[in-house]
């Protein structure tokens, strides 16, 4: 269950307390017939929206229940209730989830967001004197996310798991809401997916690839540098598609190419001295080559700059020549600096690697 705080609307005249229940802080209590406690008419709901002066709401997902005395406790969204301020106009539609939570929303917002009249549940240009009630197949948790995305509201207070976000994205597709504008950088859905990336980065990358969301795919790719390419399944590759699959493989391959290029050049040779001459420098080059070969052999795209520094700096330990030690330190610093600026996310093309490969 996601945390959700109840909202209360104050009025000059508070309603009389109902004797049936004395400690219901999170529910709106309405006396209704009990032949079908989960079915409320448009008139009942319109009355609730327009006449209630002390509307209490419940956390998402609490179903309507019957209480002694023939009264009904209905569950109303904390974010989308009759007093929620999401525009100048009052709500004119109530969406009901399959677990009987009521969401007060605006027909114009749904029309504007949807390319298929909200899965053909809305009538173009229709007006109604009372609130229209539409029952959906989604549960309240998914519906809450869907509406937050449509209204561009933050999801942070609910902290939905990635699996639930993916369900909501499928619902967005079902109701004709294009994902691109709502999953753009800095949008609430984008921010929430970024937070969940460390848990299932490949799932987020595949999702972004399916919908050509480059910024989201780039963010996800930074968490996939340690991903073993040989473990990528045919099914996942098909989901990702050829364009983003090439970009993903290029990220891994090009980073390793840059690494090999950086390590190929040994430390600079200094002027011969009585204690260190050409033969000593050849020994240093051999030791450098062996160390670099070991780095490249085990290297992955997520190799840290600090790991490179530790291995190469160790070559100074047996040396007595200060000039050789300084030359190694300078070369290691150059390598670490350039490796640190090597792109860690997918690129639209490989131009970003060319300057490093020709430096």
Please tell me the predicted confidence (pLDDT) of residue 16. 34
pLDDT tens profile 250-273: 999 999 999 999 999 999 999 998
Binned average pLDDT, 10 residues per bin, the chain of 359 residues: 35 34 31 45 50 43 53 82 81 92 92 94 67 92 96 93 95 96 95 94 96 96 96 96 96 95 94 90 95 95 96 94 95 96 92 73
Question: Smallest Cα–Cα separation from 179: which of 114, 268, 129, 245?
Answer: 114
pTM for the full model?
0.77
Please tell me the predicted confidence (pLDDT) of residue 44. 54
| DSSP conformation letters of 13-66 | SPPPPPTT-S--TT-EEEE--SSSTT---HHHHHHHHHH-SS-----TTPPPEE
Please tell me the predicted confidence (pLDDT) of residue 344. 95
Please tell me the predicted confidence (pLDDT) of residue 266. 95
Please tell me the predicted confidence (pLDDT) of residue 357. 74
Residue 252 to residues 111, 120, 159: CA-CA distances in angstroms?
Answer: 43, 45, 32
CB neighbour class for 210 (10 Å; exposed up to 12, middle 13-18, buried from 19): middle
Please tell me the predicted confidence (pLDDT) of residue 204. 96
Please tell me the predicted confidence (pLDDT) of residue 65. 55
Residue 275 to residues 132, 318, 323, 324: CA-CA distances in angstroms?
Answer: 92, 14, 11, 11
């Amino acid at each position: 269950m996601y945390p959700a705080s109840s909202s209360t609307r104050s009025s000059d005249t508070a309603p009389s307390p109902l004797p049936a229940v004395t400690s219901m802080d999170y529910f709106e209590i309405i006396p209704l017939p009990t032949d079908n406690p989960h079915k409320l008419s448009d008139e009942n709901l319109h009355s609730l929206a327009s006449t209630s002066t002390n509307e209490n709401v419940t956390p998402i997902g609490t179903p309507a229940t019957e209480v002694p005395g023939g009264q009904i406790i209905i569950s109303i969204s904390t974010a989308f209730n009759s007093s929620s301020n999401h525009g100048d106009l009052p709500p004119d539609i109530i969406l009901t989830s399959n677990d009987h939570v009521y969401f007060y929303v605006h027909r114009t917002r749904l029309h504007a967001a949807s390319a298929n009249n909200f899965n053909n549940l809305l009538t173009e240009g229709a007006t109604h004197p009372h609130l229209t009630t539409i029952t959906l197949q989604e549960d309240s948790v998914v519906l809450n996310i869907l509406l937050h995305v449509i209204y561009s509201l933050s999801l942070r207070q609910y902290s939905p798991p990635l699996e639930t976000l993916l369900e909501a994205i499928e619902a967005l597709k079902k109701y004709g809401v294009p994902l691109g504008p709502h999953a753009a950088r800095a949008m609430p859905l984008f921010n929430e997916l970024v937070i969940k990336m460390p848990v299932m980065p490949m799932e987020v990358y595949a999702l972004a690839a399916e919908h050509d969301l480059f910024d989201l795919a780039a963010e996800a790719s930074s968490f996939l540098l340690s991903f073993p390419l040989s473990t990528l399944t045919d099914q996942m590759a098909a989901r990702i598609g050829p364009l983003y699959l090439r970009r993903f493989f290029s990220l891994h391959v090009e980073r390793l190419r840059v690494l090999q290029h950086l390590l190929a050049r040994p430390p600079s040779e200094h002027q011969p001295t009585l204690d260190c001459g050409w033969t000593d420098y050849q020994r240093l080059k051999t030791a450098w080559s062996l160390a670099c070969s070991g780095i490249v052999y085990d290297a992955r795209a997520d190799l840290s700059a600090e790991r490179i520094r530790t291995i190469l700096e160790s070559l100074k330990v047996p040396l007595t020549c200060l000039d050789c030690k300084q030359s190694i330190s300078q070369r290691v610093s150059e390598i670490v600096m350039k490796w640190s600026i090597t792109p860690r996310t997918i690129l639209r093309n490989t131009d970003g690697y060319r300057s490093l490969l020709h430096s």
